[in-house]
Chains A and B, each alone.
Chain A
Amino acid sequence: MANLPYNSAEGSSDVVPESPSPERSTPTTEQQMSPTCFQTSMVMSSQETSLSPVIPIIQCDRSAWKMRQNESGLGPANLQYGLGDGKEEFNEHAALQQAFNYIRKATKKESTLEKHLQTVEDIAWKSGLGPKDIDTLLEVVLSSPLRAEAVKSRMLKCLIPTTLIPESAVVKAFSKLCTHNYSNSIKIIFFRWLIAMFDFIDHTEEMNSLYGFFFSFLQEESMSCYVCHLLYLLTKRENVKPFRVRRLLDFQSKVGIQPHLQALLSLYKSFCPDLVSISLPQKRKYYFKNTDSIWQTAVYIVKQRNQLPSLPSVELSVGISASQPQKRKWNSSCIIPKPTSSFTGEKKQKGGSTSLDVMFGVRKTFPVEQLHMFSQLLENIQNIQFPSQMCSVLKNSSLLHYLNCVRDETVWLRLYYWMNQVLKEGCTWCKVSNYTTEEEFKSFLDIVGKAQCFLQEGFPSSEVFLYRSLPLWDGTSCRSEYLQLLSWLPLGNFSEIRPLLCDSLAPLFFTSSIFHKCSVLYSLKQLLQNWLLRYAMRANVKTMMSTSSHTTLNVVNSVSELISFVGWLSTNALRLEEHSSFLFHFVLDFFETVSDMYLNYNLPLVVIFPCGVFYPALLTFDSITLNHLCYIMYRYRVNLTAAKENDVIRQERQKFNKTYQKFNEYVTALVDCLWTSTAFEKDHFLYIDPEIMKKTKIKDYKKSLNLTNHPALLVYSIYFLLQGWPGEKELALGTIQKKKWNWYLDYLLLEDLHGLHLFMESSLNVADSASSASLYPDAKRPKICTSGPISV
């Protein structure tokens, strides 16, 4: 964009207070300009206010524009509106042409003209103008017989390019501007437009050949700052001529020392130091006012709307280190530099050769600075060298891709050493140094986490850091970012990890808030998933080469230890948090992954969740929890049934018998409660002496946990009755029987209790499948999963 080569707040030193951070454009206000410049700046500010009202017309939908079209009575084109996108674009073009044609001929202001003007404005601010339209519009504006200045300036402001601006259009327009008698304000708008859009002009050779003409506009004091700026952008070495220097100096002596003149002079001096003999203040920072951000945002909006990639190179080259404030400590942590080519590595390869040899070297290396896109990586993958500082790969996805296919261990070692240090220094709770704030460390952890996620692998340094810093962690600072490291621990022996991790994690877990507990459980779920994925991936490869049952056994042990650890955590956490349904969500989420391990990840292992999770979930007040529980039970059944065929499980029958027994116990309990209402009977899990139950004076307590009376489902049954039989004066849940019972089950499904439904379908032996009363509670028995691995 038309970013200024010199930008800073340096007007006249007597007015301007020293700005604390002079680098990076701090827009200086008019007050900071020197008094001599004041007049011109007044002009500018009035321009600015006239520019801004155009903005609100940008509309996200086309309806307003269409409405206006309808009002203007544009005949046939109207009929096709809204038929399709292609059509609309076509119409947009047609409407634009029509408007141009009209404006070209219009001689006086009238309502039709206004409508056409608005059409142009709408289209321009919304989707921009193509090169041809820019050309036409420029021509229309500058050759129209209209006298109205306002109309012309409005039109000029619409010159927003979608792609490029043809140089020929600019040259044509400029020659018109030179030959016709236009007011200064039109000229100023034109120059400002040129400055703002300079980077969109496809060539500048011809424009440069008109350098002298541009230069001649310097005489006008009111526009000299714009002309200077334009010349600054346009000047080449051959344009610097003695007479121009003289002219500039004359002009300067006339109007006084002006920042824009000085800027141009300094450029001249840098091109031809022999021609400019005056001494320019060395440390002075020159300044052009960057006023036309409105145009720039308009271009940006148009680009975004047209979904063109908006100058990716520019975006990427402004890396983090470039935007870092300069005053930071040089080795303060958490700054990730931009990738830069390794210099010494190159030299060494060539054996201390001269730079010429490097230039004509046989193998051309592709500079990492230029690597922005994946396609570039693919094209140059043989010629890429890692950047001089390995850590810079962290924020560059192409380089991360590259890292992923490199075997060289030194690459990882370089990253390891660096990250080790930065994590240690940055860690706000370890207090090794006080250089970093929590925010900075947080964002650094986030970058590390993202890179790990990208590579699908944890960095060893973050693993080591986790073990070391966990005992000191307060459980709140950088929580989600820090716990993300946890989920990328490498798949290893859990018994080895346990003392490092769990001994400090567990006390913190139990003493922290429910949100902390949920985050930890979430990360542990991610950890489990990552481990399972890693295993599944490796198992996939191993089947092609050779199977190693030893590794499988290791993984099985590790995973089951992790699950039992989480089971223990969950059981206690649920008790501590009084079975909060929020916590239940995370606990059950974890066990949902567990229940599907065999089928999803091919791990010969099925681990049933602990009683401490199952029974509270069964007796919950929350229908979501109950539904989730039923779904998990359904998945367990599917997995257990499939696992019967597995060789490994067959071999370890003894161990897995227990799993089947436990599962059957749970199924029985679930069916006892919800369907058969036998949970309170002798030998069932909720058995309480009937004498005691009588004393509680609960009527019909046996049925109090069935599908209609269960506290989690009571809402549904009541609402079911209210909706179905609104006339009934008394709500009798007992009446949900036979036909109503079936309707009720359908109703529950409609209410998205899918888990319940799936469980019911899979786990209930229907006594008489044909009869309509088939699902009547008393008629069913739990379908028990045969305990032995050999199917019956």
Chain B
Amino acid sequence: MDSLDVPEFTPKHRVPPRLRDYFTGASPFHRHLESVRKQTSFGQTPFRRKIPECSPLQENFDPQRIAFLLHKQWTLYTLTPMYKFSYTNLKEYSSLLKSFIAAEKQKGLAVEMEEDFNFKVIFSTLSGVKGTQRDPAAFLVQIISKSQLSSKNAEEKVVWTGWFCCVYGDSLLENVPDDFTCLPLFLANGAESNTALIGTWFQQTFDCRFTRLTISAFNLSWMAAMWTACNLEHYVAATELLWSVPCSPQSLDISYAIHPEDAKALWDSVHQAPEEITQEEVDLFIDCLCSHFHRHFKINLAATRLVCVSTSVASAHTDGKIKILCSKYLIGVLAFLTELAIFQIE
């Protein structure tokens, strides 16, 4: 308590405003906390959103890589900001992760470690998968198994893929210091056990945390509306909504498929402002669909729960699975998912 020239370690009351100094706090973190304090309850979402659109950065797309992301079922996770992640070290990460996986897989067995594993891990960036220049670059992690037959031309097979992205993540990026990399959305395809291994490694290495991202019925109805609103030259699939009726012993699912053009026509009649979608419009759209269904089948869908939405743009399930079908609206879909992910981690 005597002099001011002890720079590193001082008793706590000499530490300049940390978290405890509520009244004087001025760092970005404090401002962040302020905003969180004000945002009171779970489940507060914006009242209006922009219609998904093509990103200006979409030109950077490598069409082959993007095609790789489409038509696959991805399990959604949220990820808290990664500490001390660096894009320059991707190569090193891949070898670290590889040895980590090898070690984990051989846990408990008294066998010698082979030098050459029958798989490899590749980290690579996905250029163009971002909303603004501020968004950190997305990157892809793949586990590729080499067939045991060992020749150089041996067939390589991707057994697991996961990618990290952040599209229009401004609200999160604002408050996070440079040591952190914010890629709040993680999508995985492959065995759950592999996801577990890789997730564990990321959690241990970058002090982050994975959580399954589930999509509420409320957000699914937003998706239904937003994706119906998309302008497509040709539709590849019908617009289909799945409602679940909670009853024993097994729940009953009601599938409701509409011709995409009819859905679009309905939406256009509901929709007003050209650039944005409001909550009322979404509610009205779903209500119209439900009342139509009721007229025909005398089943009140409002009493059931929306669990799945699939359109030509993408399809999403309430338990956090998504399949993106249309490259044009990839960024739009990811932007909404990023928003949901950020909402979950804040």
Contacts and interface: CB of A to CB of B under 8 A. Distances in A.
Interface of A: 266, 270, 273, 282-283, 329-331, 337, 340, 342-345, 347-348, 352, 381-382, 388-390, 404-407, 409-410, 412-414, 416-418, 420-422, 424-425, 430, 433, 457, 459-460, 463-464, 467-469, 471-472, 490-493, 496, 499-500, 534, 537-538, 540-541, 544, 551, 554
Given A340-B204, A389-B203, A541 B13 contact: yes
Interface string B93-109: 00010000000000001
B41 A471 contact: yes
B92 interface: yes
B211 interface: yes
Contact of B19 (A337, A382, A490, A493): A490
Given A344-B89, A410-B83, A500-B40, A421 B345 contact: yes
Interface residues of B, number: 58
Nearest to B205: A344
A272 to B, nearest CB: 13
Contact of A330 (B92, B109, B200): B200
Contacts of A266: 110
B179 A420 contact: no
Nearest to B176: A413
Interface in B10-46: 10-16, 18-20, 22-23, 27, 29, 33, 36-37, 40-42
B160 interface: no
Contacts of A414: 83, 207
A430 B344 CA distance: 13
B12 A492 contact: no
A352 B89 CA distance: 8
B196 interface: yes
26 contacts: A270-B110, A282-B111, A329-B196, A331-B210, A331-B212, A347-B89, A347-B92, A388-B204, A389-B204, A407-B15, A409-B27, A412-B18, A416-B29, A418-B207, A457-B19, A460-B19, A463-B37, A464-B33, A468-B41, A472-B42, A492-B22, A500-B37, A500-B40, A538-B13, A540-B13, A554-B23
Given A412-B19, A414-B207, 18 more contacts: A330-B199, A344-B205, A347-B92, A352-B92, A388-B207, A390-B207, A409-B177, A410-B179, A412-B29, A413-B177, A417-B80, A417-B81, A417-B209, A420-B345, A425-B211, A464-B36, A468-B42, A541-B13
Contacts of B51: none
Contacts of A347: 89, 92
Contacts, number: 140
Interface string B324-346: 00000000000000000000111
B83 A404 contact: no
B119 interface: no
Contact of A348 (B10, B81, B86, B199): B86
B9 A490 contact: no
Contacts of B176: 413
B40 A331 contact: no
B208 interface: yes
A517 B292 CA distance: 51
Contacts of B199: 330-331
Interface string B46-90: 000000000000000000000000000000001011011010010
B153 to A, nearest CB: 31
B93 to A, nearest CB: 8
Contacts of A538: 13
Nearest to A503: B40
B32 to A, nearest CB: 9
A396 to B, nearest CB: 15
Contacts of B197: 330
Contacts of A422: 209
A382 B206 CA distance: 23
A544 B210 CA distance: 46
Contact of B40 (A409, A463, A467, A541): A467
B209 A405 contact: no
A331 B180 CA distance: 20
Contacts of A342: 84
Contacts of A330: 195-197, 199-200
A468 B40 contact: yes
A218 to B, nearest CB: 22
A499 B200 CA distance: 39
Nearest to A404: B12
Contacts of A457: 19-20
A619 B322 CA distance: 67
A421 B19 contact: no
Given A421-B211, A496-B37, A413 B29 contact: yes
